[in-house]
Every structure is written in structure tokens, then in C-alpha cells.
């Protein structure tokens, strides 16, 4: 129970500006407003996983039944393959909890133009 409370506290205190500085790590495959090797990130929070129209997701992501909440995104960023076995996302994840919280704060607040 304490671990969950600590996670929620960390997510609530993420720094969007620090997350913006971390986001270039994602940019090899993702962009905010358009699809690349990975799907766009604008509108990510609240979106069902595997649901961007026209993007070719892995069968594992389509079957995942995840909705991208801050908590689910935190789990996925910590361990993509462990969270969605069979995902084609080859990035090993973001091991630092503060960096994950900052990145999630950035993605939550990103302006989609």
C-alpha cells in the first residue's frame, strides 16, 4: 500500500520542464503530433493502448486492454516488455522513477498543435 502511495506522490510531483528535456530519448521513434516508428504521443493520457487510427500496432499492444493512465504509463515506461509481453517497443524503459514522473508530467501537459 505504501509503495502505491509513493508512486502516486511521485507522479503528482513530476516536472513537465524536466520531462521535456527527457523526451528527446523518445524522439528516435515517437513524435508528439505524428506517427513515426511508434505512434504519436499527443492525447496519450486517457487513450486506449493500440488505438491510434492508421498506426500498425503489435498484436500484444492491441490485446493489452490498457488505457494510458499516468499509473499505467509509469509501469510501461519502467518495464515495457514486462508490462506488455510481446510489444514491439524495443526501448528498455526509463529506470529512474523521477525521470519517469517528469516524462509523464510532460506528456500529460504537452500542447498538441
pLDDT in tens, 68-109: 999 999 999 999 999 999 999 988 899 999 999 999 999 999
| Cα 97 from chain centre | 13
The per-residue DSSP string of 18-73 comes to HHHHHGGGTTTT--SSS-SSS---TT-TTPBTT-STT----HHHHHS--B--HHHH
Separation CA 39–CA 41 (nearest Å): 6
pLDDT in tens, 18-70: 999 999 999 999 999 999 999 999 999 999 999 999 999 999 999 999 999 99
Given this model, what pLDDT does residue 8 score?
A: 56
Closest CA to 80 of 62, 101, 59, 95: 95
Domains (ranges, CATH) in the chain?
Answer: 2-109 (1.10.760.10)
Amino acid at each position: 500500500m505504501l509503495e502505491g502511495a509513493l508512486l502516486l506522490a511521485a507522479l503528482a510531483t513530476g516536472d513537465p520542464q524536466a520531462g521535456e528535456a527527457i523526451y528527446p530519448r523518445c524522439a528516435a521513434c515517437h513524435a508528439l503530433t505524428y506517427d513515426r516508428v511508434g505512434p504519436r504521443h499527443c492525447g496519450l493520457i486517457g487513450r486506449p493502448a493500440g488505438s491510434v487510427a492508421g498506426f500498425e500496432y503489435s498484436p500484444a499492444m492491441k490485446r493489452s486492454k490498457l488505457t494510458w493512465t499516468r499509473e499505467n504509463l509509469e509501469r510501461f515506461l519502467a518495464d515495457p516488455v514486462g508490462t506488455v509481453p510481446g510489444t514491439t517497443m524495443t526501448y528498455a524503459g526509463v529506470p529512474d522513477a523521477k525521470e519517469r514522473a517528469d516524462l509523464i508530467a510532460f506528456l500529460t501537459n504537452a500542447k498538441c498543435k
